[in-house]
Amino acid sequence: MAIPALKLTTVIVAILVWTGGCPAAVPEVDPIAITPSDTPEQILTKSVQVRPHPRQIAWQKRELIAFIHFTVNTFTDKEWGEGTEDPKIFNPTELDARQWARVCKEAGIKLIILTAKHHDGFCLWPSAYTEHSVKNSPWKGGKGDVVAELATACKEAGLELGLYLSPWDRHEKSYGDSPRYNEHFCNQLRELLTNYGPVSEVWFDGACGEGPNGKKQVYDWPKFNAVVRELAPNAVIFNGPDVRWVGNESGFARETEWSVVGVKTLDGLGYSLDAQGKDLGSLDILKQSKYMVWYPAETDVSIRPGWFYHASEDSKVKSVKHLLDIYYSSVGRNSLLLLNLPPDRRGLIHENDAARLAEFGKIIRETFKTNLASASKTTTGADKLIDGKWDTVWSPGQGKTTMVAEFDLGGPKTFNCVMVQEFIPEGQRVEEFSVEAWDGNVYKPIAKGTTIGYKRLLRFDNTTSGKVRLNILKSRAEPKINEFGLFLQPAVEQR
């Protein structure tokens, strides 16, 4: 995926009143500058002051969200359309957005992002700005609107809505005539953000091409971002100032995944950060950067090899084991999992995908139903880690950058997964931690990790013990931990 140049909007006015029934915008979080005279200690101290915006916290708490890739490609068996497709080929026979919402909800998914327009330019809503849309398809006699159907289905199911609007448009004639196309794109964005109720995530793909005039389109990212901020102030912008691409499409975040990252310039945030880089937030990287920003990773991956439905991939739906590996390596590595479920030509999520997702969701539910550490006797203060409340925090006190929390489980328990959470409203701090279990004589290591962030999950072989301890070994400032858990994931078949 190409990464666009983006401007981080830093100048935002705090409006502390309700205006026209809309919630007032919370001020943007300013980036923190690194100056040449900063010592490494000062840089680390400053890095802890980099804080998420409330919309980024809300985004991360969703943990598991879905992508719906659906367009003319579904009917041409392609991954990227040319823009020349006849709208008449778009004719799902049983489209049911309620089925998408049901399948997602059952698996614990909190939000659905629909490709309202992919690179082929075909709009799944009857846009007033193009003829290349559902309105010229035979589906529902040209009266259908997929975005509206999904918005209603999400609302009914208590799910949130996200929209993918591809800036790259291979159909639109004005593409390449940069100012004209940017205006067109903003008009479409306005339609989507005005007519379908609250939108919680706007997904911008960075792909860019040449228009019919032979010129490369220059996107006006600051303008696109401003439209989103104006019409959907609570929505995060993917590949914009709020959420970055994790850097691959296979479903894996880094073992060390910082949400506080270093950037060289604010003018073109996307360019100044190599989204595919191995390391985005270590002290070494921060030392070479000019600013630090809160820029967490979203992990997008498809349940099938392709983003769009292809009958030839019906037997290639990822196994439950594979989906679990992805879950632990995304949600469990301070990221968010955006799992793609492409509807088929009927307009339904295929039975194979739905069944696989249901099995995966069941395992996740069963695993995290019971925190085996929740009734422990703990080190003074550490009871906050097992109270199941996200916003109660334990810290060893100012200036202390290590800590040990012991959990007496009140008898032997068997577990194979540990969860640790940092209280991200106060930044990301921990650089190294370990977990040990008492074997009757000594504490033995069972898991270790680097960063924690919003959530860290580590798996290990089934372990039976009555006493466990969490050691925070290295932190950029006093650690602020809010949750700790021990879980037993049931065994999973290979399929």
- Binders of ligand FUL among residues 192 to 221 (CB under 6 A) are 205, 207
Relative orientation angle of helices 146-157 and 97-106, to the nearest 10 degrees: 40
Closer CB to ligand FUL, 1 or 26, in the complex:
1
C-alpha angle 370/444/322, rounded to 5°? 50
Strands 32-33 and 377-378: unpaired
Closer CB to ligand FUL, 1 or 404, in the complex:
1
Closer CB to ligand FUL, 115 or 475, in the complex:
115
Closer CB to ligand FUL, 79 or 177, in the complex:
79
Closer CB to ligand FUL, 79 or 406, in the complex:
79
Is 478 a binding residue for ligand FUL by CB under 6 A? The answer is no
Write phi, then psi, for 258 (nearest 5 degrees): -85, 140
**What is the smallest separation between the CB atom of 67 and ligand FUL, expressed in angstroms?**
7
**What is the smallest separation between the CB atom of 308 and ligand FUL, expressed in angstroms?**
8
Alpha helices in 280-422, H assignment, sequence order? 283-287, 320-330, 351-369
Closer CB to ligand FUL, 261 or 275, in the complex:
275
Q: How far is CA 397 from CA 401, 402, 404, 427, in A?
A: 9, 10, 12, 16
Strands 403-422 and 32-33: unpaired
Write phi, then psi, for 317 (nearest 5 degrees): -70, 135
CA distance 295 to 309: 31
**What is the smallest separation between the CB atom of 357 and ligand FUL, expressed in angstroms?**
18
**What is the smallest separation between the CB atom of 70 and ligand FUL, expressed in angstroms?**
11
**What is the smallest separation between the CB atom of 204 and ligand FUL, expressed in angstroms?**
10
Closer CB to ligand FUL, 111 or 419, in the complex:
111
In contact, 191 and 185? CB cutoff 8 Å: no
CA distance 64 to 234: 18
Q: How far is CA 416 from CA 126, 263, 436, 447, in A?
A: 50, 37, 12, 10
**What is the smallest separation between the CB atom of 207 and ligand FUL, expressed in angstroms?**
5
Check the CA dihedral 141-145-149-150 and report its sign. positive
Given 1, 15, 148, 473, the residue binding ligand FUL (CB under 6 A) = 1
**What is the smallest separation between the CB atom of 1 and ligand FUL, expressed in angstroms?**
4
CA distance 297 to 293: 12
- Binders of ligand FUL among residues 145 to 174 (CB under 6 A) are none
Q: How many CB atoms lie within 10 A of CB 167?
A: 24
Encoded one letter per residue, x for contact with ligand FUL by CB under 6 A and - for no contact, window 69-88 reads ----------x---------
- The encoded tokens of residue 125 equal 């809503």
**What is the smallest separation between the CB atom of 190 and ligand FUL, expressed in angstroms?**
22
| Closest residue to ligand FUL using C-beta atoms | 1
- The encoded tokens of residue 471 equal 């050691």
- Binders of ligand FUL among residues 249 to 278 (CB under 6 A) are none
- Binders of ligand FUL among residues 300 to 319 (CB under 6 A) are 300, 307
Q: How many CB atoms lie within 10 A of CB 98?
A: 15
Closer CB to ligand FUL, 63 or 205, in the complex:
205
Closer CB to ligand FUL, 298 or 431, in the complex:
298
Closer CB to ligand FUL, 300 or 431, in the complex:
300
In contact, 114 and 163? CB cutoff 8 Å: yes
Closer CB to ligand FUL, 312 or 462, in the complex:
312
**What is the smallest separation between the CB atom of 202 and ligand FUL, expressed in angstroms?**
14
> DSSP labels for 124-154?
SS--TT-SSBGGGSSGGGGT--HHHHHHHHH
**What is the smallest separation between the CB atom of 300 and ligand FUL, expressed in angstroms?**
5
Q: How many residues bind ligand FUL (CB under 6 A)?
A: 6
**What is the smallest separation between the CB atom of 443 and ligand FUL, expressed in angstroms?**
44
In contact, 42 and 309? CB cutoff 8 Å: no
Residues that bind ligand FUL (CB under 6 A): 1, 79, 205, 207, 300, 307
